[in-house]
Amino acid sequence: MKVNRLGNYEDVKQVLDAALAAGGGSYKLETHGKAVHWRHRVYKFRKLFAAALGGGVSPYDKLTFPSIPKESSTVIIKLQQPEGIFTPASAAEDSTMAEALALAKRLSGDIV
Higher pLDDT, 38 or 89: 38
pLDDT tens across 8-58, in order? Answer: 999 999 999 999 999 999 999 999 999 999 999 999 999 999 888 887 788
Edge to edge, what strands does the sheet with 24-28 contain? 24-28, 74-79, 63-64
Q: Which domain holds residue 63?
A: 6-83
Higher pLDDT, 52 or 99: 52
pLDDT-derived band at 109 (thresholds 50, 70, 90) equals: low
Q: Tell me how far apart the alpha carbons of residues 66 and 46 are, in angstroms, rounded to a whole number.
A: 16
Over residues 72-100, the mean pLDDT reads 80
93 in a domain, yes or no?
A: no
88 in a domain, yes or no?
A: no
Hey, is 28 helix, strand or coil? strand
107 in a domain, yes or no?
A: no
29 in a domain, yes or no?
A: yes
Total tally of structural domains belonging to the chain:
1
pLDDT-derived band at 97 (thresholds 50, 70, 90) equals: confident
